[in-house]
């Protein structure tokens, strides 16, 4: 018998083995596969270990009448209808903090790669163009420039700390002013964009931040402006972003997240002013292990009737 169900095709073999060993957990690849389980398996499921970005809504929760916990693998839980879960008495947990460093590292890496034209530089060396055609055009200095963080939360702050070490002038927008070492607060995202060269988006995803960075903010960032997004594809108005990148309204972007991942809008692939990453902000062996352990520990706490480590609701 199992009372833990893993849901998510993206669980690695190691992660699946770990949860199977610990809890004799069952597995389905997707929320939509829950109805393929026997009535008994569904009736016994008390906790779900969830991984991925497919929607986990009320209808799926209702297929699991004894469900008491959805333990999300990841800090962002915008795929889970937390309101529906709360209404049903289902607790939700996530995996905050353990991934901050990696996500912040990737944001900085994309910013530097974009400024220093590293993708074209790599291609130039590999193709032999360096010897055949000479050096690339000069690139752009990153250190000492002005950066704006949209969402000074856990990850946003780690990004700001790193960029401060690059002697950047740090500006930020959050819903309220924070205690910072002299960074400049902006109460709205357009005024932030107007003040900076780089705009780094580190917001939560979900309905409330849908299209948070839109046409106006991109226009305010201007033709030398670069957007970095490590949050969710939803937080930037993607149609406006594509238009801005294609028409020179902004200079470029570094993007780890998109709408409709992994089948992203092909217009991104045609752009030469972007650095594109396959949603891999937290994807190091070390951090994924820590995330898996935190998910495991939340499930173990729930099953033992102890306090949850990182509750969302
Ligand atoms: P966090 O500490 O909760 O910070 C979230 C930020 O979003 C805060 O600055 C918060 O604003 C802002 N925010 C929340 N609700 C908002 C609303 N309704 N309107 C405007 N702003 C709002 O979260 P975190 O741990 O830094 O993670 C941030 C996000 O990064 C995650 O939710 C996830 O989507 C994304 N992420 C991506 C990857 C990746 O692989 N690319 C990996 C991990 C996480 P205040 O400062 O005003 O509270």
Nearest CA to ligand 1 atom 14: 204
Question: CB-based contacts of 286: which residues, under 8 Å, 6+ apart?
Answer: none
Which of 107, 148, 188, 203 should be mutated for ligand 1, with most atoms under 8 A from CB?
203
Per-residue pLDDT reduced to its tens digit, 151-160: 999 999 999 9
Share of the chain above pLDDT 70, in %: 99
DSSP state of 12: -
Report how far ligand 1's centroid is from the alpha carbon of 75 (Å).
Answer: 9
What per-residue confidence (pLDDT) applies to 1? 59
The single residue listed with the structure tokens 């991934």 is: 99
Q: Mean pLDDT across the chain, nearest whole number?
A: 97
Q: Please say whether the beta carbons of 196 and 221 come within 8 A.
A: yes
- Fold equal for 4-97+285-303 and 100-276: yes
What per-residue confidence (pLDDT) applies to 98? 98
- Domain layout of the chain by residue ranges: 4-97+285-303, 100-276
Give me the phi and psi of 67, to 5 degrees please. Answer: -65, 130
The strand pair at 4-7 and 169-173 is best described as unpaired
Name the strand (E) or helix (H) holding 87: helix 82-87
Mean pLDDT, range 143-169, rounded to an integer: 98
174 close to ligand 1 (CB < 6 Angstrom) = yes
CATH topology of domain 4-97+285-303: Rossmann fold (3.40.50)
Mean pLDDT, range 221-233, rounded to an integer: 98
Q: Is the pLDDT of residue 2 over 90?
A: no
Report how far ligand 1's centroid is from the alpha carbon of 145 (Å).
Answer: 24
What per-residue confidence (pLDDT) applies to 256? 98
Per-residue pLDDT reduced to its tens digit, 76-126: 999 999 999 999 999 999 999 999 999 999 999 999 999 999 999 999 999
**3-state DSSP assignment of residue 134:** coil
Q: Which atom of ligand 1 is nearest to the CA of 204?
A: 32
Report how far ligand 1's centroid is from the alpha carbon of 79 (Å).
Answer: 14
CATH topology of domain 100-276: Rossmann fold (3.40.50)
Q: Is the pLDDT of residue 57 over 80?
A: yes
């Amino acid at each position: 018998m199992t009372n833990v169900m893993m849901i998510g095709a993206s669980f690695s073999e190691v992660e699946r083995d770990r949860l199977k060993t610990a809890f004799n957990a069952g597995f389905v690849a997707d929320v939509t596969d829950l109805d393929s389980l026997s009535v008994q398996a569904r009736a016994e499921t008390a906790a779900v270990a969830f991984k991925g970005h497919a929607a986990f809504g009320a209808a799926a929760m209702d297929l699991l009448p004894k469900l008491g916990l959805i333990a999300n693998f990841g800090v962002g839980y915008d795929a889970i209808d937390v309101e529906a879960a709360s209404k049903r008495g289902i607790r939700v947990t996530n995996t905050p903090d353990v991934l901050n460093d990696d996500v912040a590292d990737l944001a900085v890496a994309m910013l530097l790669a974009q400024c220093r034209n590293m993708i074209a530089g790599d291609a130039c060396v590999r193709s032999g163009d360096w010897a055949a055609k000479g050096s690339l055009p000069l690139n752009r200095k990153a250190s000492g420039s002005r950066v704006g963080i949209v969402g000074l939360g856990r990850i946003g702050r780690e990004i700001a700390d790193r960029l401060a070490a690059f002697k950047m002038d740090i500006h930020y927008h959050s819903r309220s002013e924070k205690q910072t070492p002299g960074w400049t607060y902006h109460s709205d995202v357009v005024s932030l964009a107007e003040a900076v060269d780089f705009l780094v988006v580190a917001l939560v995803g979900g309905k409330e931040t849908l299209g948070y960075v839109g046409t106006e903010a991109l226009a305010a960032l201007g033709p030398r402006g670069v957007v970095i997004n490590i949050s969710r594809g939803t937080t930037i108005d993607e149609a406006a972003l594509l238009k801005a990148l294609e028409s020179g309204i902004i200079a470029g972007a570094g993007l780890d997240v998109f709408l409709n991942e992994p089948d992203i809008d092909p217009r991104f692939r045609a752009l030469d002013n972007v650095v594109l990453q396959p949603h891999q902000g937290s994807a190091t062996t070390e951090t994924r292990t820590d995330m898996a352990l935190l998910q495991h520990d939340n499930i173990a706490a729930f099953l033992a009737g102890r306090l949850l480590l990182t509750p969302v609701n």
